[in-house]
Amino acid sequence: MKAFDLEQVRKDFPILSRAVNGKPLVYLDNAATAQKPACVIQALTNYYEHYNANIHRGIHTLSEEATSAYEAVRESIRDFIAAPCLRSVIFTRNATEAVNLVAHSWGRTNILPGDEIVLSAMEHHSNLVPWQLLASERGAKLVYLELTESGEIDLQQAASVIGARTKLVAVTMMSNVLGTIVPVAELAKLAHAAGALVLVDGAQGVPHLKTSVTELDCDFLVFSLHKMLGPTGVGVLWGRPELLEAMPPFLSGGDMIGSVWRDRVKFNELPYKFEAGTPNIADVIASGAAIDYLNRLGMDNVRAHEIELTKYALNRMKELDDALVYGPLDANKRGGVISFNFADVHPHDIGQILNESGIAIRAGHHCCQPLMRDLKVAGTARASFYIYNTKDEIDQFLEALQEADKVMGHVACR
């Protein structure tokens, strides 16, 4: 018996009915952004049609309705990540802004010359460049957790790297290139034993894995709603309340104000202290519909579906003699992301050929150029799966790759 009705799920996504180049759309670029179910689109339209108003500032009906809907989403997100405290859930524009918020506010207050910031070798630029800039400014040092041959974190090396000088460990929850699921709790244990904090980039992990900030034992968690069926322009920062209380504001003005005098200001309480100006009200409210949708499916079911698809795709990829697949080969150790290359074929050419068959994948460095240098490639082709993808679509994907052999003359298939 299936965990959820896949056929019905597909009907919930209007975009899946369209054609590309005369072929039914096969959308395998979910690591970049996920498609939106009709309920999310309707929630967005409903706000603008029925109660469009600014929040937290009005006593009229529309404002009160908008405020109630907006704050209900904060509660939904708190539940979704099993956070113990509602005031620790802060809305940002995206996960990138959330990382920058911590780097600017916590980092510039706490990172000192000689301190070390530990990152993994597979970090997205969004969880790398802010720390590069901070380290350069503060005289700190970046230290890297290296990967095993299978693309996993080497915990032995991690234990030797995380030490007395470590101030922060900032790691992805799941690699957007390798699909590797990072043992965050184990790294957090090492970090906390050394007196360091842990920031988790959950942009890839939270949409696909049942998440508890308590079980991760992290100090900060960031993620974006657009990768989990919600609209673009909504991110989340969760942080331990005692840390957030001690941090200075990132931006100023608007809702982050408690009281203002000519010569001084008193900041608002959490979470509003970090939510300056009019927020992205409509998209936050529509994100609530996305959270509700995932909750109805059940995150354990989401994960089980992706393991099944990934295992099937990895087995089918073995039919391609020249395909080089990166990351763990065990579907239980990775998310629904498969990055691959063929000898002498540029990944952009693969992406273009697949697009002719209506198949959308990603090609390039995936905002992970240091990892690409470690892999000794300029980029990879990447297929990534989500709740509405099917084994039939994977078959179409493989057939298109086999067809590429006729076009490029490089892909040899058994």
Segment holding 93, helix H or strand E = none
pTM of the model: 0.95
CA dist., res. 223 & res. 228, Å (int)? 9
How far is residue 134 from each of residues 98, 102, 285, 406, 411, measured CA to CA in Å? 15, 11, 33, 49, 44
Q: Which residues contact 152 (CB under 8 A, 6 or more apart)?
A: 180, 328, 333
Q: E strands along 265-310, which residues?
A: 265-267
Location of structure tokens 């994907």: 397
pLDDT at res. 33: 98
With the C-alpha atoms ordered 372, 377, 381, 384, is the resulting torsion angle positive or negative?
negative
Q: Which domains does the chain have, with CATH numbers?
A: 6-30+299-408 (3.90.1150.10), 42-295 (3.40.640.10)
- The number of C-alpha atoms within 13 Å of 366 and in the hemisphere containing its C-beta is 33
- What pairing do the DSSP bridges indicate for beta strands 265-267 and 257-260? antiparallel
Q: Which residues contact 173 (CB under 8 A, 6 or more apart)?
A: 181, 182, 184, 200, 201, 202, 203, 204, 205, 206, 209, 211, 216
CA dist., res. 137 & res. 115, Å (int)? 12
Strand partners, 407: none
> Residue 220 carries which DSSP code?
E
Query: Which of 176, 252, 178, 173 minimizes the C-alpha distance to 220?
Result: 173
pLDDT at res. 1: 39
Query: Which of 352, 328, 324 minimizes the C-alpha distance to 412?
Result: 324
CA dist., res. 406 & res. 357, Å (int)? 14
pLDDT at res. 2: 56
The answer to whether the CB of 326 falls within 8 A of the CB of 151 is: yes
CA dist., res. 60 & res. 179, Å (int)? 48
Q: Is 247 exposed, middle or buried (0-12, 13-18, 19+ CB in 10 A)?
A: buried
**Residue pLDDT tens, the chain, 414 long:** 358 999 999 999 999 999 999 999 999 999 999 999 999 999 999 999 999 999 998 899 999 999 999 999 999 999 999 999 999 999 999 999 999 999 999 999 999 999 999 999 999 999 999 999 999 999 999 999 999 999 999 999 999 999 999 999 999 999 999 999 999 999 999 999 999 999 999 999 999 999 999 999 999 999 999 999 999 999 999 999 999 999 999 999 888 888 999 999 999 999 999 999 999 999 999 999 999 999 999 999 999 999 999 999 999 999 998 899 999 999 999 999 999 998 778 999 999 999 999 999 999 999 999 999 999 999 999 999 999 999 999 999 999 998 876 666 544 433
Catalytic residues: 367
pLDDT at res. 414: 37
**Maximum distance among all Cα pairs of the chain, rounded to whole angstroms:** 76
Query: Which of 334, 361, 302 minimizes the C-alpha distance to 174?
Result: 334
Q: Which two tokens stand for residue 121?
A: 């070798």
Phi, psi of 182 (to 5 degrees): -85, 135
173-216: per-residue pLDDT in tens? 999 999 999 999 999 999 999 999 999 999 999 999 999 999 99
Q: Which two tokens stand for residue 59?
A: 């006593």
Q: For the CA atoms of the chain, what is the radius of gyration?
A: 22
CA dist., res. 228 & res. 205, Å (int)? 10
Q: Which two tokens stand for residue 147?
A: 């990967």
pLDDT at res. 363: 95
CA dist., res. 380 & res. 324, Å (int)? 10
The answer to whether the CB of 181 falls within 8 A of the CB of 173 is: yes
CA dist., res. 240 & res. 81, Å (int)? 13
pLDDT at res. 222: 98
